Amino acid sequence: MNENHEKTGLAAFLLSLAAIITLGLAVIPALICALISKRQSEMAGKPTDGFATASIVVCGFVLLFWAVVIIGGGALMLGSGFRWKLPEIGMGEIQALLFLCGGAVSITAVLMIAHRRAARVRLLKLAGRR
């Protein structure tokens, strides 16, 4: 089990590099491998794997790139006079929808961070360190 997290971390890093080459197709497997590697290294009592951390960072950049492409492409289409088939949808409604989606993403991120911290505190209590 000591070497499994290192192999999984290396696989995650190679998949994250493949995600760059394939324009994001390998992001999900890379993130899964990275999280498995981090979990295995924590369970083994080893410091977290550097390859897994690098993989998460690279995947984050790939996902950020695609978010910019999608949001920027949508803004370009709306700004260039592209009209949807539904004429009753105005710019105010589109802006409200984007605002609500952004708020939902922000709230989800905060809840995920809070859940992670609560889980960490629970594990520290079980280990007798807190």
DSSP symbol at 85:
S
Q: Is the pTM of this model over 0.75?
A: no
- Three-point CA angle 82, 85, 86, nearest 5°: 110
pLDDT 10s digits, 3-29: 666 788 888 888 888 888 888 888 888
Spatial neighbors of 130 by CB under 8 A, at least 6 apart, are 121, 124
pLDDT 10s digits, 64-93: 888 888 877 777 776 666 655 545 667 777
Instruction: Count Cβ atoms below 10 Å from residue 78 Cβ, excluding itself.
Output: 14
Q: Which helix (H) or strand (E) holds 76?
A: helix 50-79
What phi and psi values does residue 41 have, to the nearest 5 degrees?
-70, -35
DSSP assignment of 1-46: -TTHHHHHHHHHHHHHHHHHHTTTTTHHHHHHHHHHHHHHHHHHTP
